[in-house]
A and B are shown apart, each in its own frame.
Chain A
């Protein structure tokens, strides 16, 4: 059981380049989300999805796009990378939207540097 798998683990981009961070889960989880973690800022929610075909914005959505065409996958797209997007990105999922019986499961992160 792989859990939540994020690829790549590390990525360096130049300003203006685009890329997609991949996230896949094999637990049939309904809810998936993307967070970014910056020093001194904690984790901030970028986008989330409550099921295939349904996405919504979190606290810091600007500069990022998401889609959820399948239950398993929730890719995060950077259309035109900026140095301010240098961060560690975490994908998380849970079986349902209720936190009482389904805590978040996190991937191990993608460390992105934009030069």
Chain B
């Protein structure tokens, strides 16, 4: 069963614009991770935010977490064509924040047009 659900399913923007995608989840979590998948490739870890954090930055990435709403957002600023990929949120609802049974959402397909 899907713990996280990304929204929107697909997003198309122009290079230089910001892209925001959202993730909602169902049960309490210890942390939430975001991964990127380029077409035909495996997933690559982007960032992890703990349940006691509200915001985290990594380069052009900004992640927020609202545990009261059980939601997270990923913002990519000044997007580039190379950011074109699918983005997934992942959670493990078990305590301790483990990789044991990491559950992924269905992903948001981001297309950045040059």
Contacts and interface: CB of A to CB of B under 8 A. Distances in A.
A106 B40 CA distance: 12
A45 B101 contact: yes
Contact of B100 (A35, A50, A103, A109): A50
A1 interface: no
Contacts of B99: 31, 33, 94, 96-99, 102-104
Chain A interface size range? 20 to 34
A99 B48 contact: yes
B100 A48 contact: yes
Interface string A86-102: 00001010101111101
A97 B102 contact: no
Contacts of A108: 40-42
Contacts, number: 73
A19 interface: no
Contacts of A59: 1, 101, 103
Interface in A1-45: 4, 31, 33, 35, 40-43, 45
A107 B31 contact: no
A63 interface: no
Contacts of B43: 43, 90, 92, 104, 106
A31 B101 CA distance: 11
Chain B interface size range? 20 to 34
A58 interface: yes
A40 B33 contact: no
A88 B101 CA distance: 19
B41 A104 contact: no
Interface of B: 1-2, 31, 33, 35, 40-45, 48, 50, 88, 92, 96-107
Q: Top 9 nearest A-B pairs by Cβ distance?
A: A106-B42, A103-B45, A42-B106, A43-B104, A106-B43, A97-B98, A99-B99, A108-B42, A94-B99
